[in-house]
């Protein structure tokens, strides 16, 4: 895989692999990387049935590259403007994906890198991985939707523990708190991440897209809102080839053969 703007891409067997490829900077994000991730998500939706997001080297992502002139804090910098121009669109694009997202985390997932990791529908980490929200240590506020994602997953008190004390959250504790899907030995991380992605790529893609949409939206409104979303999405699901194949396979007592349509 050849990296462009610090991000590499390849697609095989229905799995689009997006790799943060700036290991010398622990894959710290720049505006160019954020734009590249958005463009690759657009591409992946046209040629893949699942996205696998990973980081190269000893860390998943160390957050925003504060050595980048456009991101470095200072009296003249509008931090909110930087977020809205570059990083918020990346987070929104990942939330709006039409295919499942598997995130594979090794080493540090810090700051906005933590937000990037938490965007996964399936999050698998190595044993030595950890999450870190260092904002309170350096006088900044959280970004990337981290407070919202944490609160919905682990509750207000644990969220404030993570954000106010700014201590490392180990992979094992993250699993115990329900923040990640599973923890595997570091040496097995790449194989496990790919196997999960392949499994999802072989699934009923349209239905999986609807499932992730409903799940993301579930924490944002009332039960009635959720019922209405389900009603809207269910209107077209029975007509999909995968849904019809799934029902035939159930009646014929055999494994389904999904094609992603």
Print the SS3 string covering 133-189.
CCHHHHCCCCCCCHHHHHHHHHCHHHHHHHHHHCCCEEHHHHHHCCCCCEEECHHHH
CB 6, CB 21: distance < 8 Å: yes
pLDDT in tens, the chain (261 residues): 788 889 999 999 999 999 999 999 999 999 999 999 999 999 999 999 999 999 999 999 999 987 766 655 555 556 677 788 888 999 999 999 999 999 999 999 999 999 999 999 999 999 999 999 998 888 888 889 899 899 989 999 999 999 999 999 999 999 999 999 999 999 999 999 999 999 999 999 999 999 999 898 887 766 677 667 767 777 777 778 887 887 788 678 888 888 888
Provide the Cα torsion 114, 119, 125, 131; round to 10°: 20
Strands 182-184 and 101-105: unpaired
Domain boundaries, given as residue ranges, for the chain: 3-201, 205-252
Q: What is the pTM of this model?
A: 0.89
- Whether 13 and 3 have beta carbons less than 8 Å apart is answered as no
The CATH architecture to which 3-201 belongs is: Alpha-Beta Complex (3.90)
C-alpha 58/C-alpha 41 separation (Å) is 24
- The owner of tokens 């734009």 is 35
3-state helix, strand, coil in the chain (%, to 5): 50, 15, 35
């Amino acid at each position: 895989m050849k990296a462009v703007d610090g991000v590499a891409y390849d697609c095989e067997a229905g799995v689009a692999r997006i790799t943060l490829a700036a290991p010398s900077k622990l894959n710290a994000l720049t505006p160019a990387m954020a734009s590249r991730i958005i463009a690759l998500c657009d591409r992946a939706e046209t040629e893949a049935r699942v996205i696998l997001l990973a980081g190269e080297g000893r860390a998943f992502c160390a957050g925003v590259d504060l050595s980048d002139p456009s991101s470095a804090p200072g009296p003249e910098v509008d931090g909110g403007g930087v977020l809205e121009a570059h990083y918020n669109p990346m987070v929104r694009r990942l939330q709006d994906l039409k295919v499942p997202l598997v995130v594979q985390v090794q080493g540090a997932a810090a700051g906005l890198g933590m937000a990037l990791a938490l965007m996964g529908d399936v999050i698998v980490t190595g044993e030595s991985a950890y999450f870190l929200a260092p904002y309170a240590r350096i006088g900044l506020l959280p970004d990337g939707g981290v407070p919202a994602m944490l609160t919905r997953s682990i509750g207000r008190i644990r969220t404030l523990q993570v954000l106010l004390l700014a201590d490392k959250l180990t992979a094992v504790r993250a699993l115990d708190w329900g923040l990640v899907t599973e923890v595997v030995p570091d040496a097995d991380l790449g194989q496990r991440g790919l196997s999960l992605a392949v499994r999802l790529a072989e699934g009923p893609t349209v239905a999986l897209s609807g499932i992730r949409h409903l799940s993301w939206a579930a924490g944002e409104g009332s039960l009635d809102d959720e019922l209405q979303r389900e009603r809207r999405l269910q209107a077209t699901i029975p007509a999909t080839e995968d849904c019809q194949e799934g029902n035939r396979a159930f009646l014929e007592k055999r494994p389904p053969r999904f094609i992603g349509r």
